[in-house]
Amino acid sequence: MSRSFFLKNPSVLVFIACLALFTLGATILSDGFGVGLISTSFIKTLGKTLCLCLVAIAMDLVWGYAGILSLGHMAFFGLGGYMIGMWLMYERTRLIITESMSNAAIPPTDQEVVDAIGTQIFGVVGSSDFPTIWLFSASLPMQLALVVLVPGLLALIFGWLAFRSRVTGVYLSILTQAMTLALALYLFQNDSGLRGNNGLSGLQNLPGLDAVPQSTLSVWFLWASALALGLGYVLIAWVVSGKFGSVIRGIRDDEARVRFLGYSVEGYKLFVFVLTAIIAGIAGALYYPQAGIINPAEMAPIASIYLAVWVAIGGRGRIYGAVIGAALVSLVSTWFTSGQVPSINLGVYTVNWVDWWQVVLGLSFVLVTLYAPKGIGGLFDLISGRTPPNRHGKDLGPDAGSLQEQEAEQ
């Protein structure tokens, strides 16, 4: 079965090969394992970019294939980060506290250790008690399970409510955006139990691995992110390749027709929504230990909008397109906003790219939407010679599917 799957989808093999080559190359050039041509911070940037690619292919599945423009997937991404961050922060604080308490005359009781950890973590929001949501933070397996369960359950509840009342199209987008806003605003409060706008910090230090330098850790995370991206890619390629893929593409193109054919449209959409939320959560859990800090601002609606921007620029409805878009736009964004790009002196006004990059990004997004609905991925069609049949009217892009403009108007 897998043989035939790879035979049918050679692009998956190509992608895996590219990913492996990239990882190998980065490892060889890295500070921790190779010749040291690439700095540790850039290895971290590459690792983070791989995580963003992972959440982008999830977004491609839910938007490019199932036609649900979700503006909430970065919230799931952030939730995954929070879940792993809770364990990282708890365990590391516990080690530090145990270390400092071991010098005390009387060995500390368990309760004293927990109280000291609580004071250390929540002192910044004026509290010292562990909120209920930190119940499992002492256990790595439980928190890893929560990385999957929390975004999955939230997506399940929200998706079930939204899909069963047939909220579709832009209404669904606005609703998911509202959900993201609500979540971010909730986390901004100090009594949300997740340290308010301070967020969780110090996540780059893995507990118990103090001896391992960051240069080595960063390569480990790069490998883990590459592995997750590879697995995620194969999973999504497999999901969209079979009959299931045809049904969700059918839902994207004409939901009512698929429903009349007897498929449970809500079930399919819910499955895709929850699956992608879980992938986003996992991506977040890999991203934030590399970023080192997570706070509610990362989950603001604008982050999810950027996710949509990446996928649109890369090309919807093709998984490698999402990877290209996420990698290209996020790396170029980092480059432009880091101030390394020389300013352009126009005589009367100096264009400082740190200030103007967002304008360029916004406008290029408009141009891509207007003139290249297939995104950068569309260039591969030119190479492979795959051109759509010449039909009347304009192409509506992947989300209105096979319909051309004049057909859609009927």
The residues of the shown chain that bind other proteins, judged by CB under 8 A, are 69, 104-112, 158, 161-162, 164-167, 169-171, 173-175, 177-179, 181-183, 185-186, 188-189, 191, 301-302, 305, 308-309, 312, 355-356, 358-359, 361-366, 369-370, 373, 396-397, 399-400, 405, 408-409
Q: Would you say 188 or 238 has its CB closer to other proteins?
A: 188
Q: Quote the least distance from Cβ 304 to other proteins, whole Å.
A: 10
Q: Which residues of 137-153 are buried (b: 16+ CB within 10 A; e: fewer)?
A: bbeeeebbebbbebbbe
Q: Would you say 144 or 181 has its CB closer to other proteins?
A: 181
Which residues neighbour 236 within 8 Å (Cβ) at sequence distance 6 or greater?
Answer: 57, 58, 60, 61, 279, 319
Q: Quote the least distance from Cβ 104 to other proteins, whole Å.
A: 7
Q: In Å, how far are 42, 71, 169, 211, 255 from 176, measured between CA atoms?
A: 33, 5, 11, 43, 19
Residue 360 contacts residue 374 (beta carbons within 8 Å): no
By C-alpha distance, which of 15, 2, 4 is closest to 380?
A: 15
Q: Would you say 98 or 340 has its CB closer to other proteins?
A: 98
Q: Quote the least distance from Cβ 112 to other proteins, whole Å.
A: 8
Q: Quote the least distance from Cβ 339 to other proteins, whole Å.
A: 15
Query: Which element (helix H / strand E) includes 404?
Result: none
Q: Quote the least distance from Cβ 67 to other proteins, whole Å.
A: 8
Q: Which residue has the tokens 């603001």?
A: 300
Q: Would you say 133 or 227 has its CB closer to other proteins?
A: 133
Q: In Å, how far are 98, 201, 374, 386 from 118, measured between CA atoms?
A: 13, 15, 51, 60
Residue 56 contacts residue 64 (beta carbons within 8 Å): no
Q: Would you say 340 or 358 has its CB closer to other proteins?
A: 358
Q: Would you say 27 or 197 has its CB closer to other proteins?
A: 197
Residue 102, burial from CB neighbour count under 10 angstroms (0-12, 13-18, 19+): exposed
- The token pair that represents 4 in the structure block: 């035939």
Q: Quote the least distance from Cβ 375 to other proteins, whole Å.
A: 12
Q: Would you say 174 or 261 has its CB closer to other proteins?
A: 174
SS3 109: coil
Which residues neighbour 92 within 8 Å (Cβ) at sequence distance 6 or greater?
Answer: 202, 205, 206, 207
Q: Residue 39 gets which letter from DSSP?
A: -
Q: Quote the least distance from Cβ 249 to other proteins, whole Å.
A: 15
Q: Would you say 63 or 87 has its CB closer to other proteins?
A: 63
Q: Quote the least distance from Cβ 282 to other proteins, whole Å.
A: 25
Q: Quote the least distance from Cβ 176 to other proteins, whole Å.
A: 10
Q: Would you say 191 or 210 has its CB closer to other proteins?
A: 191
By C-alpha distance, which of 77, 64, 6, 80 is closest to 272?
A: 64
- 255: amino acid identity, one letter: E
